[in-house]
Amino acid sequence: MSVSVRFKFSRKGPVRYIGHLDMLRYFQKAVMRSGLPARYSEGFHPHQIMSFAYPLGVSMETEGDYMDLDLTEEIPEEEMLKRLNAVMNEGVSVSRATILKENAENAMALVAAADYRLSISEGADEAAAAVERIMSCKEILIDGGETKRGKKPKAPKDIRAGILDMRAEDGGYVFMRLLSGSAMNVRPADVFDKLNEAAGGKMYCDCICRLEIYAKKDDSLIPLSEADKRDA
């Protein structure tokens, strides 16, 4: 049999400096150590059927990222968490395990938005005003992104509609809710650059933490752990 499980995980501290592929390899090994009955692909070098909702960039922390894994037998959710957390190392842990319904959509395709908390280590005093300035703009243009060599530079992009919410918080933080996914994908670092521009370049952000990833259901956003959940 095959059952798909969606794990919510966090990563904090020095381990944030590893890249996305390393994170994948880290989880593969953790699953191996945990003894969870992972399902393997066919072929000469079978591998675990594992996928991530949203690649975690180098240096990003998270409290709410998702990893989907196929198992060959069903295990109670609490038990899965216990087994995985028992073999995690510094700064990584899983906080939820959700058994998905059959034919659940792949996590990556579901991603519609994400929350972020930015730690402003310098110029935090400017944050509130900068946020207000940006939020009052009708249009926020950023570079169109990298272009292939020999092609014309891409036209600047307006990301204003992709900033669903943004506010300065106590303790030197800025909270953002940004659109993600195929239609429009806004990166927190790009938004920060705009904030910093508005603050006259006085701000420095030394950590971006993703708080949650959302899927769209009807017209509202629901955490990925709630999407495609198997009916109880």
Partner 1 sequence: MDSAKRKLALPHRILMEAEKPARYTGGELNSVMKEADLVKIRFCFCFPDVYEIGMSHLGMQILYGLMNSYEDVWCERVFSPWTDMDAIMRRENIPLFALESQDPVKDFDFLGFTLQYEMCYVNILQVLELSGMALYAKDRGEDDPIVIGGGPCTYNAEPIADFFDIFYIGEGEVSYRKLFDLYEEHKERGYKKADFLHEAAKLEGIYVPALYDIVYNEDKTIKSIEPKYDDIPRVVKKNVVKDLDASFYPTAPVVPFIQATQDRAVLEVMRGCIRGCRFCQAGQIYKPVRARNVDTLIRYAEELMENTGYEELSLSSLSTSDHPGLKELLERLINMCNEKKINISLPSLRIDAFSLDVMNKVQDVKKNSLTFAPEAGSQRMRNVINKGLTVENILNGAELAFKGGWNKVKLYFMIGLPGEEDEDVAAIAELSNEVAALYYDTVPKSERQGRVTITASSSFFVPKPFTAFQWAAMNTPEEFLRKAAHCKSKVREQLNQKSIVYHYHDASTTIIEGVLARGDRKLSAVIEEVYRKGGIFDAWTETFSYERWMKAFKDCGMDYGFYIYRERPEEEMFPWDIIDSGVTKKYLYREWMNSKAGTVTLNCRDKCAGCGAGTFMCGICLQPRGGAA
* CB nearer partner 1, residue 46 or residue 200: 46
Q: Which helix (H) or strand (E) holds 223?
A: strand 220-223
Cβ nearer to partner 1, comparing 17 with 145:
17
Shorter beta-carbon distance to partner 1: residue 36 or 110: 36
Cα 119 to Cα 107: distance, rounded to the nearest angstrom: 27
Distance, in Å, from the CA atom of 55 to the CA atom of 68, rounded to the nearest integer, reads 13
Q: Least CB distance from residue 7 to partner 1, whole Å? A: 16
Binding site residues, partner 1, CB under 8 A: 12-15, 17-19, 21-22, 25-26, 28-33, 40, 44-47, 58-59, 87, 89-91, 121, 204, 206-207
CA distance 81 to 54: 21
The nearest distance, CB 28 to partner 1, in angstroms, is 7
CB of 206 to partner 1, least distance (A): 4
How many Cβ atoms sit within 10 Å of the Cβ of residue 70? 18
State the minimum distance, in angstroms, from the CB of residue 161 to partner 1.
Answer: 29
The nearest distance, CB 30 to partner 1, in angstroms, is 6
Q: Please, are residues 26 and 18 in contact by the beta-carbon 8 Å criterion?
A: yes
Cα–Cα distance measured from residue 204 to residue 119, given in angstroms and rounded to the nearest whole number:
8
Q: Which is nearer to partner 1, 94 or 112 (CB)?
A: 94
Question: Could you give the 3-state DSSP secondary structure of residue 6?
Answer: strand
Closest to partner 1 by CB, 62 vs 177, is: 62
